[in-house]
Amino acid sequence: MKLTWQDTTDIAIALSEKHPMIDVQYIRFTDLHKFITELDEFDDDPTKSNEAILEAIQMAWLDELD
């Protein structure tokens, strides 16, 4: 399945599986962006993200950890 910036929950699941040791609460958005665009399943324009999208993915990732 190909992921786009709109797939916040699916991206969060993929990130939690690929980076289980990351402290998501304190991740910088620049690092988060890099992790997302490096996912094999990610297939979207890297320049189309914004702070709101990255924050939504971060919150979904935190939810995955609970």
What are the extents of the domains in the chain? 8-65
Q: Which candidate, 39, 20, 23, places its Cα nearest to that of 5?
A: 39
pLDDT given for residue 66 in this prediction = 80
HSE toward the beta carbon, residue 63, CA cutoff 13 A: 12
Q: How far apart (Å, rounded) are the C-alpha atoms in residues 37 and 63? A: 21
Please check the confidence at residue 56 and state whether its pLDDT lies above 90: yes
Q: How far apart (Å, rounded) are the C-alpha atoms in residues 45 and 37? A: 9
pTM as predicted? 0.94
Q: Which candidate, 22, 23, 33, places its Cα nearest to that of 55?
A: 33
Please check the confidence at residue 27 and state whether its pLDDT lies above 90: yes
For domain 8-65, the CATH superfamily is IscX-like (1.10.10.600)
Please check the confidence at residue 1 and state whether its pLDDT lies above 90: no
In this prediction, residues 1-24 reach a mean pLDDT of: 96
**Percent above pLDDT 70 for the chain:** 100
